[in-house]
Homo-oligomer: A and B are copies of this chain.
Amino acid sequence: MEKIIEKHVQLNELENGGVGSPKGFITGGQNIGMRKTKPDMGWIYSERPAAAAGVYTTNLFQAAPLAVTKASLAKEGKLQAILVNTVSANSCTGEQGLKNACTTQKWMANHLGIPEHYVGVASTGVIGLQLPMDKMKKGIDRIKLGEAESWFEEAILTTDTKTKHIAVQFTIDGKKVTIGGACKGSGMIHPNMATMLGFVTTDADVDSDDLHLALKKVTDRTFNRITVDGDTSTNDMVLVMANGMAENKKLTVNHPEWPVFMAGLETVCRELAKLIAGDGEGATKLIEVRVTGARDEESAKAISKTIVGSSLVKTAVFGSDANWGRMICAIGYSGEPFDPTKVSMTLGDIVMFEHGMPVAFDEEKAKSYLDQDKIVIQASLGEGDGEAVAWGCDLTYDYVKINASYRS
Protein backbone atom coordinates (compact mmCIF):
# COMPACT_ATOMS: atom_id res chain seq x y z
CA MET A 1 0.00 0.00 0.00
CA GLU A 2 1.43 3.31 -1.12
CA LYS A 3 0.66 6.37 0.93
CA ILE A 4 -0.60 9.54 -0.66
CA ILE A 5 -0.46 12.65 1.47
CA GLU A 6 -3.23 14.91 0.33
CA LYS A 7 -4.07 18.16 2.09
CA HIS A 8 -2.73 16.73 5.36
CA VAL A 9 -5.27 13.96 5.13
CA GLN A 10 -3.95 10.44 5.25
CA LEU A 11 -5.24 8.30 2.42
CA ASN A 12 -4.09 4.80 1.74
CA GLU A 13 -4.11 3.67 -1.84
CA LEU A 14 -5.24 0.08 -2.31
CA GLU A 15 -3.19 -2.16 -4.51
CA ASN A 16 -5.05 -2.80 -7.77
CA GLY A 17 -8.14 -1.05 -6.40
CA GLY A 18 -11.12 -0.03 -8.52
CA VAL A 19 -14.88 0.43 -8.49
CA GLY A 20 -15.29 -3.01 -6.92
CA SER A 21 -13.16 -2.13 -3.86
CA PRO A 22 -15.70 -0.37 -1.63
CA LYS A 23 -17.92 -2.62 0.49
CA GLY A 24 -21.02 -4.01 -1.22
CA PHE A 25 -20.08 -3.29 -4.84
CA ILE A 26 -19.96 -6.12 -7.37
CA THR A 27 -18.62 -5.35 -10.82
CA GLY A 28 -17.79 -7.17 -14.01
CA GLY A 29 -17.59 -7.25 -17.77
CA GLN A 30 -18.12 -9.54 -20.72
CA ASN A 31 -18.06 -9.78 -24.50
CA ILE A 32 -21.53 -9.62 -26.04
CA GLY A 33 -20.33 -9.86 -29.63
CA MET A 34 -20.17 -6.20 -30.59
CA ARG A 35 -16.39 -6.50 -30.68
CA LYS A 36 -14.63 -9.67 -31.79
CA THR A 37 -13.23 -10.88 -28.51
CA LYS A 38 -12.57 -7.85 -26.31
CA PRO A 39 -15.13 -7.19 -23.57
CA ASP A 40 -17.73 -4.65 -24.63
CA MET A 41 -20.25 -4.57 -21.76
CA GLY A 42 -19.56 -3.73 -18.13
CA TRP A 43 -21.68 -3.39 -15.00
CA ILE A 44 -21.58 -2.14 -11.43
CA TYR A 45 -24.05 -3.38 -8.83
CA SER A 46 -24.43 -2.25 -5.24
CA GLU A 47 -25.98 -4.55 -2.62
CA ARG A 48 -27.89 -1.55 -1.30
CA PRO A 49 -29.44 1.33 -3.27
CA ALA A 50 -26.82 4.08 -3.22
CA ALA A 51 -27.05 7.85 -3.06
CA ALA A 52 -25.85 8.90 -6.49
CA ALA A 53 -24.96 11.97 -8.55
CA GLY A 54 -23.84 12.67 -12.09
CA VAL A 55 -22.21 15.35 -14.20
CA TYR A 56 -22.78 15.38 -17.94
CA THR A 57 -21.32 16.73 -21.17
CA THR A 58 -22.15 20.29 -22.17
CA ASN A 59 -22.34 19.22 -25.82
CA LEU A 60 -25.79 20.13 -27.15
CA PHE A 61 -25.98 16.81 -28.97
CA GLN A 62 -26.31 14.87 -25.72
CA ALA A 63 -26.44 11.12 -26.16
CA ALA A 64 -29.56 9.13 -25.26
CA PRO A 65 -28.08 7.25 -22.25
CA LEU A 66 -27.23 10.57 -20.59
CA ALA A 67 -30.83 11.76 -20.89
CA VAL A 68 -32.10 8.47 -19.46
CA THR A 69 -29.63 8.38 -16.55
CA LYS A 70 -30.22 12.05 -15.74
CA ALA A 71 -33.99 11.57 -15.66
CA SER A 72 -33.68 8.46 -13.50
CA LEU A 73 -31.40 10.18 -11.00
CA ALA A 74 -33.83 13.08 -10.80
CA LYS A 75 -36.45 10.78 -9.22
CA GLU A 76 -34.76 9.74 -5.97
CA GLY A 77 -31.10 10.66 -6.35
CA LYS A 78 -30.28 6.96 -6.09
CA LEU A 79 -28.72 4.25 -8.24
CA GLN A 80 -28.15 0.59 -7.53
CA ALA A 81 -26.59 -0.48 -10.83
CA ILE A 82 -24.81 0.93 -13.86
CA LEU A 83 -24.68 -0.69 -17.29
CA VAL A 84 -22.05 0.41 -19.81
CA ASN A 85 -21.60 -0.64 -23.43
CA THR A 86 -18.92 0.26 -25.94
CA VAL A 87 -18.92 0.29 -29.81
CA SER A 88 -22.21 2.23 -30.15
CA ALA A 89 -22.33 5.63 -28.43
CA ASN A 90 -26.12 5.76 -28.90
CA SER A 91 -25.74 9.44 -29.78
CA CYS A 92 -27.60 11.25 -32.60
CA THR A 93 -29.90 8.24 -32.72
CA GLY A 94 -33.16 10.12 -32.23
CA GLU A 95 -36.34 8.66 -30.73
CA GLN A 96 -35.21 5.11 -31.44
CA GLY A 97 -31.98 5.68 -29.53
CA LEU A 98 -33.84 7.03 -26.54
CA LYS A 99 -36.26 4.10 -26.63
CA ASN A 100 -33.35 1.66 -26.84
CA ALA A 101 -31.60 3.23 -23.87
CA CYS A 102 -34.84 2.96 -21.84
CA THR A 103 -35.32 -0.66 -22.93
CA THR A 104 -31.83 -1.74 -21.89
CA GLN A 105 -32.37 0.04 -18.58
CA LYS A 106 -35.60 -1.91 -18.09
CA TRP A 107 -33.99 -5.24 -19.05
CA MET A 108 -31.15 -4.63 -16.60
CA ALA A 109 -33.57 -3.65 -13.82
CA ASN A 110 -35.72 -6.74 -14.40
CA HIS A 111 -32.70 -8.98 -14.52
CA LEU A 112 -31.46 -7.64 -11.18
CA GLY A 113 -34.93 -7.28 -9.63
CA ILE A 114 -34.57 -3.57 -8.87
CA PRO A 115 -36.56 -0.47 -9.92
CA GLU A 116 -35.80 0.83 -13.43
CA HIS A 117 -34.76 4.26 -12.20
CA TYR A 118 -32.08 2.61 -10.02
CA VAL A 119 -30.18 1.66 -13.19
CA GLY A 120 -27.81 4.14 -14.82
CA VAL A 121 -26.86 3.54 -18.47
CA ALA A 122 -23.77 4.78 -20.31
CA SER A 123 -22.47 4.24 -23.83
CA THR A 124 -19.28 5.00 -25.69
CA GLY A 125 -18.20 4.40 -29.27
CA VAL A 126 -19.31 5.58 -32.68
CA ILE A 127 -21.89 8.37 -32.95
CA GLY A 128 -25.06 7.62 -34.92
CA LEU A 129 -25.00 3.86 -34.45
CA GLN A 130 -28.09 2.32 -32.82
CA LEU A 131 -27.58 -0.19 -30.01
CA PRO A 132 -27.62 -3.81 -31.24
CA MET A 133 -30.65 -4.69 -29.13
CA ASP A 134 -30.52 -8.47 -29.58
CA LYS A 135 -26.93 -8.56 -28.38
CA MET A 136 -27.70 -6.19 -25.52
CA LYS A 137 -30.60 -8.43 -24.40
CA LYS A 138 -28.57 -11.63 -24.51
CA GLY A 139 -25.71 -9.91 -22.75
CA ILE A 140 -27.87 -8.59 -19.91
CA ASP A 141 -29.54 -11.99 -19.46
CA ARG A 142 -26.12 -13.58 -19.08
CA ILE A 143 -24.98 -11.28 -16.28
CA LYS A 144 -24.32 -13.24 -13.09
CA LEU A 145 -23.21 -11.04 -10.23
CA GLY A 146 -19.82 -12.16 -9.05
CA GLU A 147 -19.19 -14.22 -12.15
CA ALA A 148 -17.66 -12.05 -14.80
CA GLU A 149 -15.54 -12.80 -17.89
CA SER A 150 -13.53 -9.65 -17.36
CA TRP A 151 -13.01 -6.62 -15.20
CA PHE A 152 -15.47 -3.74 -15.41
CA GLU A 153 -12.39 -1.60 -15.93
CA GLU A 154 -11.50 -3.54 -19.07
CA ALA A 155 -15.01 -3.73 -20.47
CA ILE A 156 -15.52 0.02 -20.78
CA LEU A 157 -12.43 0.81 -22.89
CA THR A 158 -12.43 1.92 -26.54
CA THR A 159 -9.12 3.17 -27.97
CA ASP A 160 -7.60 3.24 -24.48
CA THR A 161 -4.41 1.24 -24.22
CA LYS A 162 -4.80 0.42 -20.52
CA THR A 163 -7.35 0.15 -17.76
CA LYS A 164 -7.72 3.16 -15.48
CA HIS A 165 -8.67 2.59 -11.88
CA ILE A 166 -7.79 3.45 -8.31
CA ALA A 167 -9.15 3.05 -4.80
CA VAL A 168 -8.22 4.88 -1.61
CA GLN A 169 -9.10 4.20 2.01
CA PHE A 170 -9.39 6.52 4.97
CA THR A 171 -11.27 6.80 8.22
CA ILE A 172 -14.50 8.67 8.98
CA ASP A 173 -16.18 8.43 12.40
CA GLY A 174 -13.66 5.70 13.18
CA LYS A 175 -15.05 3.61 10.30
CA LYS A 176 -12.95 2.51 7.35
CA VAL A 177 -14.26 4.16 4.20
CA THR A 178 -13.22 3.26 0.66
CA ILE A 179 -13.63 5.24 -2.56
CA GLY A 180 -12.97 3.46 -5.84
CA GLY A 181 -13.01 4.75 -9.38
CA ALA A 182 -12.64 3.66 -12.97
CA CYS A 183 -12.79 5.55 -16.23
CA LYS A 184 -12.13 5.41 -19.92
CA GLY A 185 -10.66 8.02 -22.30
CA SER A 186 -9.11 8.61 -24.69
CA GLY A 187 -10.23 10.65 -27.74
CA MET A 188 -12.80 13.49 -27.86
CA ILE A 189 -11.39 14.59 -24.53
CA HIS A 190 -11.52 18.26 -23.64
CA PRO A 191 -12.28 19.96 -20.36
CA ASN A 192 -15.90 20.95 -20.38
CA MET A 193 -18.05 19.35 -17.71
CA ALA A 194 -17.47 15.62 -17.62
CA THR A 195 -15.32 14.90 -20.68
CA MET A 196 -15.26 11.08 -20.54
CA LEU A 197 -16.90 8.13 -18.81
CA GLY A 198 -16.00 8.01 -15.14
CA PHE A 199 -17.47 5.88 -12.38
CA VAL A 200 -16.82 6.38 -8.70
CA THR A 201 -18.12 4.09 -5.97
CA THR A 202 -17.90 4.44 -2.22
CA ASP A 203 -19.24 2.66 0.81
CA ALA A 204 -19.46 5.98 2.66
CA ASP A 205 -22.88 7.14 3.74
CA VAL A 206 -23.31 10.51 2.06
CA ASP A 207 -26.21 12.91 1.73
CA SER A 208 -27.38 12.81 -1.87
CA ASP A 209 -27.48 16.60 -2.42
CA ASP A 210 -24.07 17.13 -0.89
CA LEU A 211 -22.72 14.23 -2.93
CA HIS A 212 -23.82 16.09 -6.05
CA LEU A 213 -22.14 19.31 -4.91
CA ALA A 214 -18.99 17.40 -4.07
CA LEU A 215 -18.88 15.72 -7.48
CA LYS A 216 -19.38 19.02 -9.32
CA LYS A 217 -16.65 20.75 -7.34
CA VAL A 218 -14.19 17.90 -7.70
CA THR A 219 -14.92 17.37 -11.41
CA ASP A 220 -14.11 21.01 -12.10
CA ARG A 221 -10.65 20.55 -10.57
CA THR A 222 -9.87 17.15 -12.06
CA PHE A 223 -11.72 15.80 -15.10
CA ASN A 224 -12.37 19.31 -16.39
CA ARG A 225 -8.65 20.04 -16.28
CA ILE A 226 -7.63 17.50 -18.88
CA THR A 227 -7.53 17.75 -22.63
CA VAL A 228 -6.47 15.29 -25.28
CA ASP A 229 -7.69 16.86 -28.48
CA GLY A 230 -10.04 19.72 -27.68
CA ASP A 231 -13.14 17.81 -28.74
CA THR A 232 -15.92 17.58 -26.15
CA SER A 233 -17.82 14.36 -26.68
CA THR A 234 -21.59 13.92 -26.77
CA ASN A 235 -21.38 11.08 -24.22
CA ASP A 236 -19.24 12.35 -21.36
CA MET A 237 -20.52 11.47 -17.93
CA VAL A 238 -19.18 10.91 -14.44
CA LEU A 239 -21.36 8.98 -12.01
CA VAL A 240 -20.77 8.47 -8.31
CA MET A 241 -22.57 5.97 -6.06
CA ALA A 242 -22.38 5.98 -2.26
CA ASN A 243 -24.05 2.95 -0.66
CA GLY A 244 -23.45 3.75 3.02
CA MET A 245 -22.20 0.29 3.92
CA ALA A 246 -19.19 1.73 5.78
CA GLU A 247 -21.72 2.61 8.50
CA ASN A 248 -20.32 6.08 9.16
CA LYS A 249 -22.59 8.88 10.40
CA LYS A 250 -24.17 10.35 7.26
CA LEU A 251 -21.72 12.75 5.61
CA THR A 252 -22.91 16.27 4.84
CA VAL A 253 -20.95 19.47 4.22
CA ASN A 254 -21.33 20.13 7.96
CA HIS A 255 -19.80 16.84 9.08
CA PRO A 256 -16.42 17.59 10.75
CA GLU A 257 -14.73 15.00 8.56
CA TRP A 258 -16.27 16.23 5.28
CA PRO A 259 -12.83 17.55 4.17
CA VAL A 260 -11.43 14.03 4.55
CA PHE A 261 -14.11 12.64 2.25
CA MET A 262 -13.53 15.48 -0.23
CA ALA A 263 -9.79 14.81 -0.24
CA GLY A 264 -10.47 11.14 -0.96
CA LEU A 265 -12.89 11.96 -3.76
CA GLU A 266 -10.56 14.53 -5.29
CA THR A 267 -7.62 12.13 -5.17
CA VAL A 268 -9.57 9.39 -6.92
CA CYS A 269 -10.86 11.76 -9.62
CA ARG A 270 -7.51 13.48 -10.11
CA GLU A 271 -5.61 10.21 -10.50
CA LEU A 272 -8.23 8.95 -12.96
CA ALA A 273 -8.05 12.24 -14.88
CA LYS A 274 -4.26 11.98 -15.12
CA LEU A 275 -4.57 8.39 -16.30
CA ILE A 276 -6.87 9.57 -19.10
CA ALA A 277 -4.56 12.40 -20.12
CA GLY A 278 -1.49 10.16 -20.11
CA ASP A 279 -3.32 7.55 -22.16
CA GLY A 280 -4.70 10.05 -24.69
CA GLU A 281 -4.94 8.66 -28.19
CA GLY A 282 -1.43 8.04 -29.47
CA ALA A 283 0.14 9.68 -26.41
CA THR A 284 3.64 8.81 -25.27
CA LYS A 285 3.90 11.42 -22.50
CA LEU A 286 1.76 12.97 -19.78
CA ILE A 287 2.04 16.77 -19.72
CA GLU A 288 1.26 18.56 -16.46
CA VAL A 289 0.96 22.34 -16.58
CA ARG A 290 1.04 24.25 -13.30
CA VAL A 291 0.16 27.92 -13.36
CA THR A 292 0.76 30.11 -10.32
CA GLY A 293 0.51 33.83 -9.64
CA ALA A 294 -2.53 34.33 -11.88
CA ARG A 295 -5.21 36.90 -11.05
CA ASP A 296 -7.45 34.15 -9.74
CA GLU A 297 -8.09 30.41 -10.05
CA GLU A 298 -10.31 30.82 -13.14
CA SER A 299 -7.56 32.73 -14.93
CA ALA A 300 -4.95 30.15 -13.91
CA LYS A 301 -7.25 27.41 -15.16
CA ALA A 302 -7.77 29.08 -18.54
CA ILE A 303 -4.03 29.61 -19.04
CA SER A 304 -3.04 26.11 -17.95
CA LYS A 305 -5.65 24.59 -20.28
CA THR A 306 -4.51 26.75 -23.20
CA ILE A 307 -0.88 25.66 -22.82
CA VAL A 308 -1.68 21.98 -22.43
CA GLY A 309 -4.12 22.14 -25.39
CA SER A 310 -1.73 23.78 -27.87
CA SER A 311 -0.98 21.48 -30.82
CA LEU A 312 2.41 23.12 -31.17
CA VAL A 313 3.31 22.53 -27.51
CA LYS A 314 2.06 18.94 -27.82
CA THR A 315 4.14 18.19 -30.92
CA ALA A 316 7.22 19.87 -29.41
CA VAL A 317 6.94 17.65 -26.32
CA PHE A 318 6.53 14.61 -28.57
CA GLY A 319 9.74 15.59 -30.38
CA SER A 320 11.54 16.39 -27.08
CA ASP A 321 12.11 19.89 -28.43
CA ALA A 322 12.39 22.50 -25.64
CA ASN A 323 10.52 25.02 -27.77
CA TRP A 324 9.59 27.35 -24.90
CA GLY A 325 8.44 30.00 -27.41
CA ARG A 326 5.35 27.93 -28.17
CA MET A 327 4.49 27.64 -24.47
CA ILE A 328 4.92 31.38 -23.97
CA CYS A 329 2.93 32.04 -27.15
CA ALA A 330 0.05 29.92 -25.80
CA ILE A 331 -0.02 31.94 -22.57
CA GLY A 332 -0.27 35.05 -24.74
CA TYR A 333 -3.34 33.93 -26.66
CA SER A 334 -5.16 32.40 -23.69
CA GLY A 335 -7.45 35.42 -23.62
CA GLU A 336 -6.46 36.19 -20.01
CA PRO A 337 -5.01 39.62 -19.21
CA PHE A 338 -1.53 39.83 -17.64
CA ASP A 339 1.72 41.75 -17.88
CA PRO A 340 4.12 39.91 -20.24
CA THR A 341 7.19 41.35 -18.52
CA LYS A 342 6.26 39.55 -15.26
CA VAL A 343 5.95 36.07 -16.76
CA SER A 344 8.43 33.31 -15.88
CA MET A 345 8.44 29.67 -16.94
CA THR A 346 10.26 26.45 -16.09
CA LEU A 347 10.38 23.05 -17.75
CA GLY A 348 10.92 20.58 -14.95
CA ASP A 349 13.46 22.49 -12.85
CA ILE A 350 15.06 24.17 -15.86
CA VAL A 351 14.34 27.90 -16.01
CA MET A 352 13.44 28.86 -19.60
CA PHE A 353 11.93 32.30 -19.28
CA GLU A 354 12.15 34.96 -16.61
CA HIS A 355 10.40 38.32 -16.34
CA GLY A 356 9.29 38.26 -19.97
CA MET A 357 12.64 37.25 -21.43
CA PRO A 358 14.25 33.96 -22.47
CA VAL A 359 16.98 32.51 -20.26
CA ALA A 360 19.92 30.58 -21.69
CA PHE A 361 19.62 26.92 -20.74
CA ASP A 362 21.34 23.60 -21.36
CA GLU A 363 19.65 22.16 -24.47
CA GLU A 364 20.92 18.64 -23.77
CA LYS A 365 19.56 18.70 -20.25
CA ALA A 366 16.22 19.97 -21.52
CA LYS A 367 16.13 17.27 -24.16
CA SER A 368 16.76 14.49 -21.67
CA TYR A 369 14.10 15.94 -19.41
CA LEU A 370 11.64 15.90 -22.32
CA ASP A 371 12.54 12.29 -23.09
CA GLN A 372 10.81 11.25 -19.86
CA ASP A 373 7.19 10.14 -19.79
CA LYS A 374 5.93 12.85 -17.45
CA ILE A 375 6.65 16.48 -18.29
CA VAL A 376 5.92 19.37 -15.94
CA ILE A 377 5.62 22.91 -17.34
CA GLN A 378 5.34 25.61 -14.69
CA ALA A 379 4.40 29.20 -15.45
CA SER A 380 4.19 32.04 -12.96
CA LEU A 381 2.49 35.29 -13.85
CA GLY A 382 3.19 37.59 -10.91
CA GLU A 383 -0.35 38.95 -10.97
CA GLY A 384 -1.98 37.43 -7.89
CA ASP A 385 -2.37 34.12 -6.07
CA GLY A 386 -4.52 32.17 -8.54
CA GLU A 387 -3.25 28.63 -9.09
CA ALA A 388 -4.33 25.73 -11.26
CA VAL A 389 -3.05 22.49 -12.72
CA ALA A 390 -4.08 20.99 -16.06
CA TRP A 391 -3.10 17.72 -17.71
CA GLY A 392 -2.74 16.65 -21.31
CA CYS A 393 -0.51 14.60 -23.58
CA ASP A 394 1.75 14.91 -26.58
CA LEU A 395 0.45 14.91 -30.18
CA THR A 396 1.97 12.05 -32.13
CA TYR A 397 1.89 10.19 -35.42
CA ASP A 398 -0.25 7.60 -33.69
CA TYR A 399 -2.94 10.17 -32.82
CA VAL A 400 -3.28 10.84 -36.53
CA LYS A 401 -3.14 7.14 -37.35
CA ILE A 402 -5.82 6.19 -34.81
CA ASN A 403 -8.16 8.96 -35.88
CA ALA A 404 -7.71 8.90 -39.63
CA SER A 405 -9.44 5.52 -39.70
CA TYR A 406 -11.45 5.14 -36.51
CA ARG A 407 -14.56 3.72 -38.14
CA SER A 408 -12.81 1.23 -40.41
Which residue numbers of A lie inside 8 Å of B, CB to CB?
Answer: 57-62, 89, 91-94, 126-128, 187-188, 190, 192, 229-234, 309-312, 315-316, 318-319, 321, 323-326, 328-333, 337-338, 340, 353, 356-358, 395-397, 399-401, 403-408
How many angstroms between the C-alpha atoms of A60 and B383 in the bound complex? 14
Whether B321 and A408, one on each chain, are in contact in the complex, defined by CB atoms closer than 8 angstroms, is yes
Contacts of A57 on B, CB cut-off 8 Å? 333
Whether A356 and B406, one on each chain, are in contact in the complex, defined by CB atoms closer than 8 angstroms, is no
Whether B229 and A321, one on each chain, are in contact in the complex, defined by CB atoms closer than 8 angstroms, is no
Whether A311 and B356, one on each chain, are in contact in the complex, defined by CB atoms closer than 8 angstroms, is no
As for how many copies of this chain the complex holds, the number is: 2
* 8 nearest A-B residue pairs (beta carbon): A127-B325, A319-B404, A315-B403, A61-B332, A232-B333, A59-B332, A229-B311, A128-B358
Q: How far is the CB of A80 from chain B (nearest CB, A)?
A: 31
Q: How far is the CB of A377 from chain B (nearest CB, A)?
A: 15
Contacts of A231 on B, CB cut-off 8 Å? 310-312, 326, 329-330, 333
Whether B233 and A126, one on each chain, are in contact in the complex, defined by CB atoms closer than 8 angstroms, is no
Q: How far is the CB of A339 from chain B (nearest CB, A)?
A: 9
If the complex has contacts A340-B61, A395-B400, A400-B395, are A127 and B329 also in contact, measured as CB distance less than 8 A?
Answer: yes
How many angstroms between the C-alpha atoms of A223 and B236 in the bound complex? 34
Whether A328 and B92, one on each chain, are in contact in the complex, defined by CB atoms closer than 8 angstroms, is yes
Whether A403 and B329, one on each chain, are in contact in the complex, defined by CB atoms closer than 8 angstroms, is no
Contacts of A406 on B, CB cut-off 8 Å? 316, 321, 323
Contacts of A321 on B, CB cut-off 8 Å? 404-408
Whether A318 and B92, one on each chain, are in contact in the complex, defined by CB atoms closer than 8 angstroms, is no
Q: How far is the CB of A311 from chain B (nearest CB, A)?
A: 4
How many angstroms between the C-alpha atoms of A208 and B86 in the bound complex? 61
Contacts of A229 on B, CB cut-off 8 Å? 311-312
